[in-house]
Amino acid sequence: MKTIQIDKAEIDGRERIRLFFRYDQEIINLVKSLPGARWHPQMRCWHINLAFGPASNLNYRFRGKLEFVPRKLPVNGKNGEKQKKEDPIEKIPDEFIKTMKLRKYSPKTMKTYTIMLRLFIRFYKLKVLDELSDEDIREYLLFLVDEKKVSQSYQNQAINAIKFYYEQILGRPTNTYYLQRPKKERKLPVVLSEEEVVKIIRQVNNPKHKCILLLIYSAGLRLGEAINLRVNDIDSKRKMVMISDAKGKKDRYSLLSETLLELLRKYYLTYRPKVWLFEGQTGRQYSEKSIQTILKKAWLRSGVRKKATVHTLRHSFATHLLEHGTDVRYIQQLLGHANTKTTLIYTHITKTGFDKIKSPLDNLNI
């Protein structure tokens, strides 16, 4: 039986299962039978959706044909701990990390920029990073668009990371090279109806989990804003939630639902959080992944057909306020949008006004 070594790695912003094996067309054909299987030219490996794992699941799926085993990592250190060897060619310059820390970039932004720069370095691993030309940069961006078929968002992240390194670290002037910015996609976000929100929330029985989802919906919070809330950020007298150091390093207030306030009081008496409003088992902040899992399980049980994520609750909050007559300028402040144009997207989703318009088909005698 043919053996494949597997491990997990973040690829294009998503965690995937990497497959390592000697070139074998039969194995490749079997791997390609998995929906979404992709070849990564830089890593020189195939990768598949995390949902196909772990190894035991893959062994059952390809029983008698392939055997999947965890990839063996080189042993390093006094205690024999297994560690990944970092390719010195792909090492991120120390100054790149230090500058981001000094400018107080968020951990998420730092992680994204680091990934993007590492992929850029890997693409030109036979060249010196500081000596790459404007044409080299454009060639890489064309590769992302033509070969990788990346989204506009992904391309923008790559451009931002590259510009940050060459302009902020090496001190090149901004007009040293020109990068064509892709047009931003104008996709309308998925929005749940009020009835669909109720269906999902009713699938959550744990008091802490229910409070988290209800707070995100009732205050229009981003996921990161919810886990960063501290106990003192709940202003019960003024019926407001204080969101500190949000996106763009801005503070703002949002609504505190009276219904939720009663649930939060019961939650506090039961769990007694000390620092963070929602704490994990170790007393640290609740993880983003845990909240995403809570929402996904509730959504699957609810029978709601629309694809719903945690951020869908924020979109639904804004749309429902608009449908109930709230001025878009107030919604902008509650969401923390810097530009009203961002908030106006919800006017394309709301059903308010459309229920008074009659389709021309209804006027025909067919």
- Which residues are marked as active site? 222, 247, 311, 314, 337, 346
- Residues 320 and 306: their CA atoms lie apart, in Å, by 16
pLDDT per residue, tens digit, the chain (366 aa), is: 788 889 988 887 788 999 988 878 888 889 999 988 988 887 788 999 988 878 888 988 888 888 999 887 654 544 444 444 555 556 888 999 999 999 988 888 999 999 999 999 988 877 888 888 888 888 898 888 888 888 888 888 999 999 999 999 988 877 555 555 556 667 789 999 999 999 999 999 999 999 999 999 999 999 999 999 999 999 999 999 999 877 777 899 999 999 999 999 999 999 999 999 999 878 888 999 999 999 999 999 999 999 999 999 999 999 999 999 999 999 999 999 988 888 888 888 887 777 777 777 677 878
- Would you tell me the crossing angle of helices 310-323 and 207-219 to the nearest 10 degrees? 50
Domains identified in the chain, total number: 3
Residues 140 and 45 both lie in one domain? no
Strand partners, 38: 47
Residues 97 and 157 both lie in one domain? yes
Residue 52, amino acid: F
Strands (DSSP E) contained in 45-112 are: 45-49, 66-70
Residues 120 and 220 both lie in one domain? no
- Residues 156 and 184: their CA atoms lie apart, in Å, by 9
Q: Residue 134: which CATH number?
A: 1.10.150.130
Residues 301 and 201 both lie in one domain? yes
Residues 130 and 229 both lie in one domain? no
Confidence at residue 220, expressed as pLDDT on a 0 to 100 scale: 95
Strands (DSSP E) contained in 191-329 are: 234-235, 240-246, 250-255
Residues 228 and 343 both lie in one domain? yes
What's the Cα-to-Cα distance from 210 to each of 70, 98, 240, 314, rounded to whole Å? 37, 39, 19, 15
Domain assignment present for residue 356? The answer is no
Confidence at residue 79, expressed as pLDDT on a 0 to 100 scale: 44
Q: Among positive and negative, which fits the CA dihedral 192, 198, 199, 200?
A: positive
Q: Are 330 and 317 in contact (CB under 8 A)?
A: no
**Model confidence, pTM:** 0.63
Residues 223 and 327 both lie in one domain? yes
Structural domain boundaries enclosing 16? 2-70
Domain assignment present for residue 122? The answer is yes
